[in-house]
Amino acid sequence: MTKTTLWLRLVGGFYLLLALTSLRVLSVDPQMFGAMNPFAADASALRAFADAWLIFVLEMGVLGAIMLYYARDSAHNRILVLTVSVLELIRGAGGDLLWMSRGWPTTNYIPFMIVHLIIAGTGLFFLRQESTGK
C-alpha cells in the first residue's frame, strides 16, 4: 500500500467521522454554537451560523467518501491528495487564522490549525516522496 493510499483512507475516514458527528450535533442541538460564540448573538444569528456550518459539513462528507472511494487507485488520483492538502492549508489553517484574528478563542482553533497543517503537510510530503520514487 502506498503512502498516498493510506493518507486517502485515513483522511477520508476522518472527514466522514467529523461530518457524521457534526450532523448529529446540528440535528440534536444546533444552538450549541451559542456556547462557542464569543460574540453576542440572537437565535436567528446562531441558526444562520448552523446553516452555514451544515454546508461545510456536507462538503466534508462528500470529500471523505470520494477519498475513500479513490484510495483504491491512488496512483491515478494524486490530484485529489493535492486538492485536499491545499484546501487544508487555505480553508483549514487559513480559516482558523482568520477566525482567531477576529476574536474567536485561540484555545479552540490552535488545535484545529495543527490538525489542518498535519493533514496538508503529510499529503504534500507523501506526494513528493512518491513522485521522486523515495
Q: Is the pLDDT of residue 134 over 70?
A: no
Q: What is the pLDDT of residue 70?
A: 96
Assigned C-alpha cell, 107: 484555545
Task: Give 1-52 pLDDT, tens digit per residue.
Answer: 899 999 999 999 999 999 999 998 888 877 776 777 777 778 888 888 888 8
Lowest mean pLDDT among 30-34, 84-88, 97-101, 109-113: 30-34
Q: What is the pLDDT of residue 121?
A: 98
3-class secondary structure, 29: coil
Q: Model-level pTM?
A: 0.89
The helix (H) or strand (E) run that includes residue 61 is helix 43-70
Assigned C-alpha cell, 114: 495543527
* C-alpha distances out from residue 86 to 80, 108, 117, 126, Å: 10, 22, 10, 14
CA distance 132 to 127: 9
